[in-house]
Structure formats: C-alpha cells, structure tokens
Amino acid sequence: MSEMVCSHCGKVQESYRGDYLYLESGLDHVIICDVEMIDCGCGEKSALIPRIIALHEAIADCLLGQETYLTGKEIRFLRKNLGLKGKVFANLVGVDHATLSRWENDKSKPSTRADRLIRFLYASKMKPEKAEEIASLTYKAAPPKQPQTPIHVLADTRKRYSCVRECR
C-alpha cells in the first residue's frame, strides 16, 4: 500500500482495519464492518470504502428484509437508490409529494400497505428475486423511543457486501 498524506495537515496517515459508522448513506445506523480506516494524528479519520454501489445494494437488502416499518430516512435512501425524484416516487406509490415529504422527514408514517408497496417497488426494479419474499413479511412496530437496530454490512474477500448480525 502506498503512503497516504492527510489533506488537512499534510502528515503521513496510518491505516488499520475497523468498523465505520457510514453516515454518508443518509442513514445513522449503518456500520461497515472490518473496513480499511485511515487515521491521522491531527484527528482526521476516514474509511476506504470500495464498490459504493454494491454497498448501497446490500444496505437496501437489509432494509427490504427488516421486520420493522421503514423510517423516513430509510424511505429516502431507497428512493434515492432508485434514482427517482420525490414527485415521481410519490406518484408511483400513489400519494402526493407532500405526503412523501412528511414520511421522509418523519412527520408522519406510511400505512402498512404503503410501506410494503415502497419495498415492493424497490425490489421489482432492483431485486426482482426478493419481490415474493417482501409479500410475505410480517411487520413489527419498533418500540417507541428505542434506538434503531444497527445495520451491519461486511465485505467479503471478493468485495461483495452482505448483512451480518453484528461486526466481529
């Protein structure tokens, strides 16, 4: 590996493997397990994340299979991963843009049917093999005021990502 220099202070950075809270996804509960991390003495930290598109597909897989209702941030993540503007997505779901905006900003919650439709729309476009599985999901309401369950994503030796229960 080549020597890396900090863009903030110009010092040589050290690399190590660790778990990274992937806030860049727009979700605040995605952890990438055992990824290469870069650390500088000045306090700057970052992660080297290969194959971002594959990572986002794995995150979406985790979201599609979760038993709790989608949060606003999760709905926004799926919509953006589909590459759809809010008005187009709202039209596909059969609601007005203002309703979608309230969902995405956690001002209101979609119905069970709308949640299932959002997952099905994503699956039918991006993961057709999951569409039948989504139809049989039984949802559980997340307990109020309880933090979300983290999504742990691990890259294997071929840089494919998959959901895991927790980082080792």
Residue 10: per-residue pLDDT: 77
Cβ contact 105:71 at 8 Å:
no
- pLDDT of 77 reads 97
The CA R_g of the chain, rounded to the nearest whole Å, is 18
Concatenated DSSP letters of 81-145? HHT--HHHHHHHHTS-HHHHHHHHTTSS---HHHHHHHHHHHHHHH-GGGHHHHHT---BPPPTT
pLDDT value of position 98: 97
The pLDDT assigned to 147 comes to: 60
Task: Determine the angle formed by the axes of helices 72-82 and 97-104, rounding to 10 degrees.
Answer: 120
Please give the structure tokens belonging to residue 139: 């949802």
Residues 6 or more apart in contact with residue 37 via CB below 8 angstroms: 15, 16, 17, 18, 20, 45, 46, 47, 48
Task: Quote the pLDDT of residue 2.
Answer: 57
DSSP string, 9-73: T-PEEEEEEEEEE-GGGS-SSEEEEEEEEEE-TTS-EEEE---HHHHHHHHHHHHHH-SBPPPHH
Confidence at residue 56, expressed as pLDDT on a 0 to 100 scale: 94
Q: pLDDT value at position 20?
A: 93
- Span 86-110, pLDDT tens digits: 999 999 999 999 999 999 999 999 9
Residues 47/20, Cβ–Cβ less than 8 Å: yes
- Global pTM exceeds 0.85: no
* Full pLDDT tens readout for the chain, 168 residues: 457 777 777 778 888 899 999 999 999 999 999 998 888 878 778 888 888 999 999 999 999 888 888 999 999 999 999 999 999 999 999 999 999 999 999 999 999 899 989 998 998 888 777 767 766 666 666 555 556 778 889 887 666 888 888 887
